[in-house]
Amino acid sequence: MLTSEMMDLAKEKQNLSSDRKLAHLLKLSATALSKWRLELAEPSEEHAIQLAKLAGMDPAEFLIDVQMRTAKSSELSRTLHDIKHRLAFYAITQACVLQCILC
């Protein structure tokens, strides 16, 4: 997920009307948040986790997305992509197992 999409979800979930209010909640400058919105910068690991939590989303998945975009090598990016898909597969498998147990 793009950072701008996560920002929009966080604003919606927290009932915030502007990026400026989200920046205040994250204890950031409006300029820093604007750079995220324009894809000129990515959030730090700490801010990525905090932003995902504000959006009610899984911080691990969003953190992997951010790290994939900032990876310094294509090998690291591919490895992170593989981890993300393994996590998704694991979540689906666990949901199916739980559903079978409840049946």
Break the chain into its structural domains and give their ranges: 1-58, 71-103
The reported pLDDT for the residue numbered 86 is 87
Q: How far apart are CA 10 and CA 53, in angstroms?
A: 8
The reported pLDDT for the residue numbered 90 is 78
Burial of 37 (0-12, 13-18, 19+ CB in 10 A): middle
> Do residues 32 and 51 make contact, with C-beta atoms less than 8 angstroms apart?
no
Residue with tokens 């990016």: 77
pLDDT digits (tens, 9 = 90+) for 58-82: 899 899 999 999 988 999 989 988 9
* pTM, entire model: 0.79
- Report the Cα–Cα distance between both ends of the chain, in Å, rounded: 33
Q: Which tops the pLDDT comparison, 103 or 83? A: 83
CA of residue 79 relative to chain centroid, distance: 17
The reported pLDDT for the residue numbered 51 is 98
Cα atoms in the 13 Å half-sphere on the side-chain side of 71: 15
The CATH number corresponding to 1-58 among 3.30.2010, 1.10.260, 1.20.120, 1.10.287 equals 1.10.260
pLDDT level of residue 103 (50, 70, 90 thresholds): confident
Instruction: Determine the average pLDDT of the residues in 4-28.
Output: 97
DSSP letters for 8-28: HHHHHHTT--SHHHHHHHTT-
